[in-house]
Structure 1
Amino acid sequence: MNAPRKKVLLVDDVELFVELEKTFFHRANVTLLVARNGLEALDLARRERPDLIFMDLFMPEMDGDVACARLKEDPDLSSIPVVMVTHGGRDADLQRCRDAGCDDILLKPVNRHKFVAAARRFIGLEDRVAPRVDARIEVRYANGGNELTDYSLNMSTGGLFLETDRLLPVETELQVSFNLPDRDEPVRTRARVAWANEPDNRIKPGLPPGMGLQFLDLSLDDLQDVRSFVREHLDRILPS
């Protein structure tokens, strides 16, 4: 049985920004809701109970920080994560967002990577085009001087899930290497921690504690080898 689609509420009075933000989720299995000001956002939040809200700061009728504060004061709505979106990063504007009780702040011009990272962090957003296969492979990784070793549970051409209790902050960059079957040289790449499955807060309950790693600079040869590995495993599990 498929899990219900998550609801994401986009709140901005500028059509251009709303349409741009919509494109960030075109590959995601989510239902998008749109409000043009804080009052509309409050009304939609009460009726639809979104799982995540991206809220512009400056809007007509009611600014985003006022709407955010009212959401956080409502016992029925206070648990909904609110990500404030604002221009420029002026200290006074950032403080308004913090005072409203928001869960995170993003700066315009909007960036797809940061939007999707926020959605992944708060609601476990799936944003994957490449097929993923089970893969129990020893992975060596380093953040600075010490090299650590753990095992992957699955892999795609875009990254892998690393089973580990040694969780690192999201966006941490690592040097990663691993050996694929029937290949002499290891695959080496930079990777970033895209999301974390914390022991007490598993955004993907079907997986153990660990980290989703996104490959950042696979060479063409390494990419081809990873793609071949994934295809071979898919051929074994998919009917001909």
Structure 2
Amino acid sequence: MVRKGYDMEGRRKHPRASLQTEIWLGQDGIFTRTTETLRDLSEGGAFVETGQRFPVGSILNLRFKLLGTSHPISCTVSVRNLRGGSGLGVEFLDISTDDRQQVRLFVENQIPRMF
């Protein structure tokens, strides 16, 4: 599913897609590997549906694969918000230019063509 619009406050800068995939999420060298849904995935960040809890401002390591790719995306993220028991909104901090482009292309390819 892809949403190309803006949220109610007009803060969205990038199109978004949802993706269920295996992720590694951790802090200080301790990682949990789970199958989670990345909602609102964009080149700027994502919402990770997870039961794991980290305070806003936490710096985490995130690793995931996009559908149709063999190369995992590895990046450092900052927890920007919490959504009551359902997950974490994260911003990509340290992501390579190639990985950011892979995410952007993945999201763009999910947008239905209107022709």
TM (norm. structure 1) is 0.42
**Residues 57-86 of structure 1: per-residue CA shift (max 9 Å, x gap):** xxxxxxxxxxxxxxxxxxxxxxxxxxxxxx
Task: Select 1:145's aligned residue among 5, 13, 29.
Answer: 29
Secondary structure at 1:222 match in 2: helix
Query: CA separation in 2, counterparts of 1:29 and 1:239?
Result: 24
**Residues 120-169 of structure 1: per-residue CA shift (max 9 Å, x gap):** xxxxxx62210111211222111112111341233111111111121210
1:180 offset after TM fit, Å?
Answer: 1.3
Task: Select 2:50's aligned residue among 124, 140, 164.
Answer: 164
Q: 1:168, 1:193 within 8 Å by CA — same for their partners in 2? A: yes
Higher relative contact order (CA 8 A, sep 6+): 2
Instruction: State the structure with more CA Rg.
Output: 1
Moved over 6 A (4+): none
More helix, by proportion:
1
Q: Which amino acid aligns with 1:136?
A: Q
**Residues 4-47 of structure 1: per-residue CA shift (max 9 Å, x gap):** xxxxxxxxxxxxxxxxxxxxxxx9845xxxxxxxxxxxxxxxxx
RMSD between aligned residues: 2.0
Percent identical: 29
Query: CA separation in 2, counterparts of 1:215 and 1:137?
Result: 17
More strand, by proportion:
2
Aligned residues between the structures? 108
Instruction: Please give the residue correspondences for 1:1-240 in structure 2 after superposition, counting only pairs within 5 Å.
Output: 29-30=8-9, 127-150=11-34, 151=36, 152-199=38-85, 209-234=86-111, 236=112, 238-240=113-115
1:212 offset after TM fit, Å?
Answer: 0.7
Gaps of 5+ in 1: 1-26, 31-125, 200-208
